[in-house]
Amino acid sequence: MKPVESAALQAHELEGIVPTVNLAAEEGRKDFYARAKQQNLAPLWRVLHGLVTEKPATRCAPALWRYADVRPHLLEACKLIGAAEAERRVMVLENPGLPGQSRITQSLFAGLQIILPGEIAPAHRHAASALRFIIEGKDAFTAVAGERTMMAPGDFVITPSWTWHDHGHEGSGPMVWLDGLDMHIVNLLAASFREDLGGKAQTLDRPEGAAPAEFGNNLLPVDVTHRSQTSPIFNYPYRKSRESLDTLARTRAPDPWQAHKMKFINPVNGSWAMPTLSTWMQLIPKGFECAPYRSTDGAIFTVVEGRGRSTIGDESFDWGPRDIFVAPSWMAHTHRAFEDAVLFIYSDRVVQEKLDLWREAKERA
């Protein structure tokens, strides 16, 4: 093999190759590799370092979606396609490092769904779990497993795996929410199922407010038989979340890395509210700057109130109400609030914890 040819080995052939492999000798192994490939065999030593990396490696990039820039596209989509035809009129938030994959991180989906007055997003169900975080509007509802709830900005709404759900709008003006799903985790495991209810809404067999009445007041029915790992409360109203954050801020000093941060829980067992998606609310007081923090779960942030700046890796983003941004896995990030700010956050931390994979690192400012 000529030296020039050796130096010209394709970059993709060398990516992840074990450093001890003799590159000059690789030419003499090509016949072996070709014969092994016919038996569906491949040499691990050529890809090992790309498979087992020294630290988290992701093509996910830090990114910000300004709601003022995104909203006109949502409204235009309403003119181009109806809710019935689209089934779910959603504009996907595609991570710029993962184009064309419908991913905001390597494991999670995010999209903005819009519904207009009088429209119905028909009932269906799927193995993927979903969350809705309400961005804009009023007098729209979601129905889950025979019970419906009205939605307001800042509410965190859950659609558990394999439960019928549909949406409707009885008010005026557009209703917009953020959809977050674990579909990429489900598809990685080849465990996806879905079913439609024939283009209609589901039958309601529970009165509105039944779930919070049974499970939302630090009481449980004595004959409770809730076996799901997902919280039986499927709407966590923002007014209650904000009240809890305010109380926490009055009774505790802010954490150097998280300020005032609270996780949503399943009231039956005290665990995360969802089995595959971790969710939080975070209050950052005016003028407070969080110390650099990194963790293995890439996180999606939605600004509920306030303005501030986040530095993620080498990039900085100024944000305001309704903006959405993402911090990739193991990328150090900080947040500074120009005024009291509240953020809703979700990630796949709960999955990583169950697999003993989750790590964090706290740095000093």
Whether residue 155 sits in one domain with residue 27:
no
What pLDDT is stored for residue 14 in this prediction?
59
Whether residue 135 sits in one domain with residue 28:
no
Which residues are bridge partners to 318 per DSSP?
A: 309
Whether residue 75 sits in one domain with residue 47:
no
Whether residue 269 sits in one domain with residue 165:
yes
What pLDDT is stored for residue 252 in this prediction?
97
Whether residue 86 sits in one domain with residue 22:
no
Residue 13's pLDDT band (boundaries 50, 70, 90)?
A: low
Residue 93 has pLDDT above 60, yes or no: yes
Residue 153's pLDDT band (boundaries 50, 70, 90)?
A: very high
Mean pLDDT for 166-170 is: 94
- Is position 300 within any domain? yes
Q: Determine the Cα–Cα distance for residues 116 and 171; give it in Å rounded to an integer.
A: 9
Whether residue 149 sits in one domain with residue 15:
no
- Is position 92 within any domain? yes
- Is position 56 within any domain? no
Residue 3's pLDDT band (boundaries 50, 70, 90)?
A: very low
Query: For the chain, what is the mean pLDDT?
Result: 93
Domain ranges, residue 341: 63-362
Say what the pTM is.
0.94
What pLDDT is stored for residue 16 in this prediction?
67
Give the DSSP letter string of 72-126: HHHHHHHHH--HHHHSS-EEE---TTSTTTT-SSSS-EEEEEEE-TT-EEEEEEE
The SS3 call for residue 286 is coil
Whether residue 108 sits in one domain with residue 14:
no
263: left (phi over 0), alpha (psi -120 to 50) or beta: beta
Residue 282 has pLDDT above 60, yes or no: yes
- Is position 313 within any domain? yes
- Is position 236 within any domain? yes
Whether residue 152 sits in one domain with residue 231:
yes
- Is position 349 within any domain? yes
Whether residue 237 sits in one domain with residue 272:
yes
- The structure tokens listed for 120 are 């119905």
Provide the number of structural domains found in the chain.
2
Residue 190 has pLDDT above 90, yes or no: yes
Whether residue 103 sits in one domain with residue 246:
yes
Q: Determine the Cα–Cα distance for residues 61 and 331; give it in Å rounded to an integer.
A: 9
Mean pLDDT for 311-317 is: 98
What pLDDT is stored for residue 226 in this prediction?
76
Mean pLDDT for 293-319 is: 98
Whether residue 176 sits in one domain with residue 28:
no
- Is position 58 within any domain? no
Whether residue 235 sits in one domain with residue 190:
yes
Provide Rg for the chain, Cα atoms: 23
- Is position 347 within any domain? yes
Residue 56's pLDDT band (boundaries 50, 70, 90)?
A: very high
